[in-house]
Structure 1
Amino acid sequence: MQTATPLSRWALALYCLAVGFSVAAVVYHQSMTQMIAASFGLPSGALWGLSVATQSGYGAGLIFGLPLGDSLSPRRLIPAVMSGLGGVLMLLAVAPSLPVMIVFGVLAGLLSIGGQLVIAYCARTCSAAERPAVIGSLLSSLFAGLLLARVLAGWGSVQIGWRGVYMTVGALTVLLGLAMRRAIRALPPAASVGYVRMLGQQAQRWLDHAELRRYALIAACFFAASNGIWANLGSLTFATLHWSAGQTGLLAFTSLFALRSPKLAMWMQQRMRWQNAVILLGMAMALVSLLGMVEGASLPMIIAFLIFTDIGVRSVQALTQSRVLDIDPPAASRLNSLYMTVFFFGAAIGSWLGGVTIHHLGWAGMYLFPLLCAGAGIALLHLPGSAAKLAKV
């Protein structure tokens, strides 16, 4: 086992950029749907297939691509994934039709796992003392990438068109991939087993690590709350407040407050057990949800609700994901693959259940849903045996 060496500020900054640009590729299109659809003579609703394709590709990458981080040399794999993603983004810029864009969208989602590969690589190579701060910085970059991608893509598409946005971010991503080649240490693969056998071992790894199951399920419950809110917020504000998509989009800036969530998670973890930190965060989400049910759809209440919910969800993710990566650092990519897969499906279920709740209860359902999700996460925290049985089903 190689001795961990301190990570330079330059390298950390480069890794943070790589994480942000990787995850951003999944959401660029969300702010440009009207312009993309108009260029093909289609209604904006016709672009749902592009969103599904990108998310499906990302899900497949988490399951089938992320474990490769332990079986291949990271110095070759991570730059190749980053450069490949940049190339696909540039192909999206010249796509002649929506079906072609959908195909490239699958590939973009599949290659967007570069950021998660970087996180797992740092978990393996950083010292135990340095690891929490590094992982926290990378997670902050991940959150920032999701936020800034939506904002800058919407602004950039007005200035240079949606094709110009894809060409620009594609070229920058390729350059980042080339730079990563020089910044990543030459390490041997952490696992010597073949790819097919390694995938087969993933199910057993899930069954063998009760803590992994608990961390992943708790994080999925909290992330379901976030996705349930943001997936249905636009339709609710339009139906009840008559807001435009642009007005609702401005609410995304509330996520700026959540960029410091990894630091908050580290601060809480240093002063209390991580379980107590999750309980406090869940209780804060529940309190603001209850206040929202009393206050209703006032703008200050909506903003406070989104801020506290985002901070709670992102802090719980930082708490649980950092602990997953500490279970077995040499197997970080394989463990992260399992964690993120459950996390991702939690988001999908949250979009559906949140939509059902909000459809029937309106704003009361919007405020109630994260309370229920946080309650489910806290319940799993206190019922490890039940969580383990649930995860095996």
Structure 2
Amino acid sequence: MSGGAQADTAGRHGFTPRARLGLTLIAGGAVANIYYNQPLLGLLVGEFGERAALWVPTASLVGYGLGILGLVPLGDTLSRRSLIIGQTLGLAVALLAAALSPNLACLALSSLVIGILASAAQQAVPFAAELAPDATRGSVVGQVMTGLLTGILLARTASGLVGAQYGWRAVFFAAAVVALGMTGIAAATLPKIPQTRPLRYRALMLSILHLVRSQPVLRRSSLSQGLLFASFNAFWATLALLVEAPPFNLTAAGAGMFGVIGVAGAFVAPLSGRFTDRRGPRPMVVAGALFVVAAFAVLWAGGAWSLIAVGLGVLLIDIGLNAALIANQTRVYALVPSARGRINTVLFTVMFVFGAFGAFAGSQAFLMAGWSGVCAVGILLAGAGFLVNVLEPRGA
């Protein structure tokens, strides 16, 4: 059976409301694990020293990138259901090890493994695309991405509340229990889809390069989404520096509450998916890029003196980024149905690279030119993402 036939069979027979809900919960629950440590850094520094603030979050994010690059492609040749079950079960063990860590080295190593296995979130998204019928693939991907994005946004809030009351180890113990729950959800809700085209790991990884060379739509979508994600990270890397200084003088907890506003942006994902199913992905990507440009215009005009302007900017950035992401995912998942895991790897690897650049550029701009510099960088990056789509060849 070909990869395309597998997808059709899955869409007709394997995709139930239970499977859709299961994938949504798994996507959000898995990705949350790489963000739990961020509100706990003060507690970790108090116990392990200042190096904990660098090594723990860095290890988890590096691990997640390695998981996207090294594990997600396996979904194209092995059972995604089995991979998700194995990764979430291993995640529970790694989280337990983190909770019991006697020193910083053990905690950093555990965080690296947590990040690698948390890439189960990126198995869930192409699995949803594989199971969904062609006519509703956008809305299905949108729903699962809502779970993933909500997990990112609420992980910090939940971790901060639990950590403040019960300590940082309690957060990891609770997360281990949640990971075991995800294993049970995966086993109970996800269909068994046989994979009949196994590839050796080396051939699988080399085929990623072939996809990049042979699929211009994948290159354009990855570039445009990477530029938008860079602008997003330029903003979030500097927001705390803005609002914790005069005239706002917010606490770190107050700065973190802007993430709750972003949850509203996450819920635009299903709407973006439905629009993409009806009108195609390009209009939604263009609209999403314009939302991000508009967000930085608002932030430039009023962000330095108005928290309302900052909150509106957060909302517009999240709506624009998420709308474009769902449309770009829907577009690239349709290119080669049997290679959705590898396509996902390309898209998110490019996003991570551009995101790191955006955070660096935003921080440097803030140091050199203040908040106006950050907004200028954001407009340039988001504007470039807009142009990638506007200048796209007709019919592409």
Q: TM-score range by the shorter chain?
A: over 0.9
The whole-number CA distance in structure 2 between the counterparts of 1:284 and 1:21 is 28
Deviation of 1:73 after TM superposition, in Å, equals: 1.9
Q: 1:233 to 1:191 in 2, by over 3 A?
A: farther
Greater shift in the superposed pair: 268-277 or 313-322:
268-277
Instruction: Please list the CA deviations of residues 318-355 of structure 1 after superposition, one character each: whole Å capped at 9, or x if unmatched.
Output: 11012111212221111111111111112111111111
DSSP-derived class of the 2:34 partner: coil
Equivalence for 1:126? 132
TM-score w.r.t. the length of structure 2 is 0.92
Equivalence for 2:143? 137
Q: 1:355 to 1:134 in 2, by over 3 A?
A: same
Equivalence for 1:204? 210
The whole-number CA distance in structure 1 between the counterparts of 2:64 and 2:106 is 18
The whole-number CA distance in structure 1 between the counterparts of 2:298 and 2:84 is 45
Q: Does 1:187 align with 2:193?
A: yes
The whole-number CA distance in structure 2 between the counterparts of 1:28 and 1:212 is 32
Assess if the C-alpha contact under 8 Å between 1:225 and 1:369 holds in 2.
yes
Assess if the C-alpha contact under 8 Å between 1:6 and 1:130 holds in 2.
no
Q: For residue 115 of structure 1, what is the amino acid of its counterpart?
A: A
Q: Give 1:230-241 correspondences, 5 Å limit.
A: 230-240=236-246, 241=248
The whole-number CA distance in structure 1 between the counterparts of 2:249 and 2:190 is 50
Instruction: Please list the CA deviations of residues 15-57 of structure 1 after superposition, one character each: whole Å capped at 9, or x if unmatched.
Output: 21111111001100001111122233x24x6421111111111
The whole-number CA distance in structure 1 between the counterparts of 2:84 and 2:141 is 17
Greater shift in the superposed pair: 160-169 or 142-151:
160-169
The whole-number CA distance in structure 2 between the counterparts of 1:131 and 1:269 is 9
Equivalence for 1:329? 337
Q: 1:194 to 1:356 in 2, by over 3 A?
A: same
DSSP-derived class of the 1:96 partner: coil
Equivalence for 1:34? 42
Equivalence for 1:308? 316
Assess if the C-alpha contact under 8 Å between 1:87 and 1:174 holds in 2.
no
Q: Does 1:380 align with 2:388?
A: yes
Find runs of 4+ consecutive structure 1 residues off by over 4 angstroms: 270-273
Q: Does 1:89 align with 2:95?
A: yes
Assess if the C-alpha contact under 8 Å between 2:99 and 2:172 holds in 1.
yes
Deviation of 1:145 after TM superposition, in Å, equals: 0.2
Q: For residue 202 of structure 2, what is the amino acid of its counterpart?
A: V
Greater shift in the superposed pair: 279-288 or 225-234:
279-288
Q: Give 1:37-52 correspondences, 5 Å limit.
A: 37-40=45-48, 42-43=49-50, 46-52=52-58
Q: For residue 190 of structure 2, what is the amino acid of its counterpart?
A: I
Q: Give 1:1-393 correspondences, 5 Å limit.
A: 1-2=5-6, 3=9, 4=11, 5=13, 7-40=15-48, 42-43=49-50, 46-189=52-195, 191-240=197-246, 241-269=248-276, 272-295=279-302, 296-384=304-392
Deviation of 1:270 after TM superposition, in Å, equals: 5.3
Deviation of 1:278 after TM superposition, in Å, equals: 2.6
DSSP-derived class of the 2:101 partner: coil
The whole-number CA distance in structure 2 between the counterparts of 1:133 and 1:287 is 25
Greater shift in the superposed pair: 183-192 or 199-208:
183-192
Q: 1:79 to 1:61 in 2, by over 3 A?
A: same
The whole-number CA distance in structure 1 between the counterparts of 2:337 and 2:201 is 19
Deviation of 1:68 after TM superposition, in Å, equals: 0.6
Greater shift in the superposed pair: 185-194 or 253-262:
185-194
Equivalence for 1:391? none
Q: 1:76 to 1:280 in 2, by over 3 A?
A: closer
Greater shift in the superposed pair: 16-25 or 268-277:
268-277
- Where does structure 2 lack aligned partners over 5 or more consecutive residues? none
Instruction: Please list the CA deviations of residues 176-228 of structure 1 after superposition, one character each: whole Å capped at 9, or x if unmatched.
Output: 11331232222222532201111112111111100001111111111111111
TM-score w.r.t. the length of structure 1 is 0.92
Q: For residue 379 of structure 1, what is the amino acid of its counterpart?
A: L
Q: 1:93 to 1:232 in 2, by over 3 A?
A: same
Assess if the C-alpha contact under 8 Å between 1:84 and 1:174 holds in 2.
no
Q: For residue 247 of structure 1, what is the amino acid of its counterpart?
A: G
